[in-house]
Chains A and B, each alone.
Chain A
Amino acid sequence: MEAGQKPIELILARNLISSLSTPAFLVDEGGVLIFYNEAAGSLLGKRFEEIGKVGPEQWGTMFGPVDESGAAIAYDELPLVMTIREGRPAHSDMRIRSADGAEHEIEVSALPIVTPHGSRGGIAFFWPSSESAKGD
């Protein structure tokens, strides 16, 4: 794959999540955040175009993910980072903070994007947590 050209699997993944109403992140094989959709932008309070590509250490802390006790979640324990590192699906509950300061309880499910030529990256979907949904 020539430098600068995204693999087709990431292109198609981006096109897919672009048309979904489920918030979703897309990262490349190095864990760099290369896209998130408008639904994720609404949740986070910032469109992807306002942030651009950022590495895992940066995006992993940008929205302050914390666990149920309020303790910060280390970036390498985030589902999407675990998915990239281990090549396996990962899932967890967390709280995030959007740009306007509002906190959201969410569940995150991450999947690796594996091709005949190896891993190309990963994709994560965000859902309102079961508990917060019950409270709605």
Chain B
Amino acid sequence: MHVKLWGTRGSVPSPGPETIRYGGNTSCVGVTLSDGSLLALDAGTGIRSLGLALGDEPARLHILLTHLHLDHIQGLVFFAPAFKPQTEIVIWGPASPEASLQDRIARYISAPLSPVEVRELPCDVSFRHAPDSEWEIGSATIRAASVAHRGPTLGYRIEDAGSSLTYIPDHEPALGAAIDELDDEWISGFALAKGADLLIHDGQYTDAEYPDHVGWGHSALSDTLAFARRVEPGRTVLFHHDPLHSDDFLDRFYREARDRWAALGGEPGAIEMGAERAEIDLPAATPTPVADIQQ
């Protein structure tokens, strides 16, 4: 798998000189699978740049939406491939008892919020509720599960050629209970993230900021680190940066995260900051040579 972060910001786009290094676009992660299939995890404003990078080649891609807050869908109507008839897009997202995925997205892609309607998009677009069991996209096996965040919200786990990525950008796993006091089965997102090679996880608030935002659906740094320690991913990328956090602020936040991670006994270098346009390769697992097995 090849992973590229096209938007790492949470809540609202935050362009400006103070957010150049970590980026101001909202949530979007591009994933190229081992068979060449393309996924976009969320469609925040970062998906606009992903679309431009695809160029004029006919595109077929799957967009996996965690939820329908604006910072995760705002880029849909600015995704250039959606305006080409040769493009095929499948949009996955959480089910709701209130309306279908298409109808809920159409509230944004319609007047007065949008100059175009879903039915006017020239591409071949379809909408599917993420199933409660695993499914296949290209060479990958996908699993979705609801996680602690306001409204129907999913996290995703993508397994491809022996490597695994878990994406939980909006997550408040310690809401109402301290992670350290919970058994594994009672931790939101645990099974999705357990042992993943790469975990991309909510890192929106400092511990000092969190008390004013309890129940908003995002993590304090200490909760993100506690969650990561419990699920033991190979690497954890802090994501969904608060729009008030400048590059300099995030540099300090990162230093604190690394120090606290080390104090928790975490592997050095296993905590990283999500930065727009950063790329991460998750190599396919190398089969163990027969000779090694026989030894």
B-binding residues in A (CB < 8 A) = 1-2, 4-9, 11-12, 14-16, 18-19, 115-117
Contact = CB atoms under 8 A, between A and B. Distances in A.
Interface of chain B: mostly helix, strand, loop or mixed: loop
A1 B187 CA distance: 13
B175 A8 contact: no
A6 B187 CA distance: 8
B191 A4 contact: yes
Interface string B76-101: 00000000000000000011110000
Interface residues of B, number: 22
B60 interface: no
B188 A11 contact: yes
B146 interface: yes
A4 B194 CA distance: 12
Nearest to B143: A2
30 contacts: A2-B143, A2-B145, A4-B184, A4-B185, A4-B191, A5-B191, A6-B186, A7-B146, A8-B145, A8-B146, A8-B147, A8-B148, A8-B188, A9-B146, A11-B148, A11-B186, A11-B187, A11-B188, A12-B175, A14-B177, A15-B176, A15-B177, A16-B176, A18-B177, A115-B146, A116-B94, A116-B95, A116-B97, A116-B152, A117-B132
Contacts of B185: 4-6
Nearest to A35: B186
A1 B147 CA distance: 12
Nearest to A17: B176
Contacts of A5: 145, 184-185, 190-191
Interface in B142-167: 143, 145-148, 152
B57 to A, nearest CB: 36
Complex A-B, nearest 6 residue pairs according to Cβ-Cβ distance, in ascending order: A15-B176, A5-B191, A116-B95, A8-B146, A2-B191, A117-B132
A1 B148 contact: no
A18 B95 contact: no
A18 to B, nearest CB: 6
Contacts of A2: 143, 145, 191
A117 B95 contact: yes
B129 interface: yes
A28 to B, nearest CB: 11
A8 B184 CA distance: 13
Given A15-B176, A18-B176, A18-B177, A1 B96 contact: no
B133 to A, nearest CB: 8
B112 to A, nearest CB: 29
A16 B148 CA distance: 12
B232 to A, nearest CB: 15
A75 to B, nearest CB: 25
Contacts of A117: 95, 132
B129 A116 contact: yes
A16 B132 CA distance: 24
Contacts of B143: 2
